[in-house]
Amino acid sequence: MVGLGSYHTHSRYDDGHGELEEYVRAAMGKGLRALGFSGHAPMPVESDWLMSAENLPRYLAEARRLKAAYAGRLDVLVGLEVDYLPGLSAPRERRVALELDYVLGSVHYLRAPEGGPGWTVDGKPEELDEGVRSDFGGDLQAAVRAYYERLAAMVRDSPPDIVGHFDLVKKNNRRERLFPESAAWYLAAARIALDALERSSCILEVNTGGLLRGTTDAVYPAPRILAECRERRIRVVVNADAHRPEHVDGAYPDALAALRDAGYRSTAVLTASGWREQELDATD
């Protein structure tokens, strides 16, 4: 998509596939304006999808080498996707400490307020079901509210440049197996995070990863939430959450259609010289 970038990518360094330079070549071949690397930052938890602490310096060194090598041909940006897990991981702190070009902040892990085992809201359905049962006494509404409260806390306390997959908690709710996403209680929970976003300088991503991998029927955030983002004048950026080089602009037409339907006329693009707005009509 002419004039757009792709800032949510995962390579062999974490849970994706392919070399970093393969992503660069794919981005250039598809006419993208910029490419951002955003491997999952290491955290002191057991995981098969986070980058290892040993791989972090190798990842950063290679990403910075490619940034210099392709300067003038493609804006390559060095970042990380950093989970917000109080006491263990915070996006803004990682951005500063590692001198990153940008950081994408996400909430995957959820724990009950009093503690307990950590689990991911986008894991297998049975992981979500067991987490709600064990940490929230089976109260799904309480768990969903806790997710959005944590997202709001991230935006307030350690604001990233980009907020990742805003309503990730819906991943295991395909065909509304757990709850109707038009329910008043659900929208009220989402607005906790929207209120924080509206008061921040964070940019919200329109993420096509669920569509690419067949786990959702719509982009993140869902159309109803995206329309409210437009009403609140929350800036957005399009990302593929690519785990393979060929998906670096995956389902972008769907994202642009969702933006237009929500009333957006432009999307943010991050370049070597900073953020700018790209008119949607100029992207096709």
Q: How many helices (H) and strands (E) in the chain?
A: 9, 11
User: What is the distance between the alpha carbons of residues 262 and 246, in angstroms, rounded to a whole number?
Assistant: 28
CATH number reported for the structural domain that contains residue 261 in this entry: 3.20.20.140
Place of tokens 């359905």: 125
Query: Of how many residues is the chain composed?
Result: 284
In terms of Cβ atoms closer than 10 Å to its own Cβ (0-12, 13-18, 19+), residue 230 is: middle
Domain count, the chain: 1
pLDDT tens for the chain, residues 1 to 284: 678 999 999 999 999 999 999 999 999 999 999 999 999 999 988 888 999 999 999 999 999 999 999 999 999 999 999 999 988 899 999 999 999 999 999 999 997 655 554 899 999 999 999 999 988 999 999 999 999 999 999 999 999 999 999 999 999 999 999 999 999 999 999 999 999 999 999 999 999 999 999 999 999 999 999 999 999 999 999 999 999 999 999 999 999 999 999 999 999 999 999 999 999 987 76
User: What is the distance between the alpha carbons of residues 9 and 79, in angstroms, rounded to a whole number?
Assistant: 10
Q: Could you tell me whether strands 75-83 and 34-40 are parallel, antiparallel, or unpaired per DSSP bridges? A: parallel
Residue 71, classed as helix, strand or coil, is coil
User: What is the distance between the alpha carbons of residues 237 and 176, in angstroms, rounded to a whole number?
Assistant: 26
> Which of 86, 89, 87, 66 shows the shortest CA–CA distance to 78?
66
At residue 44, the pLDDT reads 86
Q: Could you tell me which residues are beta bridge partners of residue 4?
A: none
Number of Cα atoms under 13 Å in the Cβ half of residue 224: 11
At residue 112, the pLDDT reads 60
> Which of 63, 37, 40 shows the shortest CA–CA distance to 53?
40
Range of the domain at 200: 5-282
At residue 88, the pLDDT reads 87
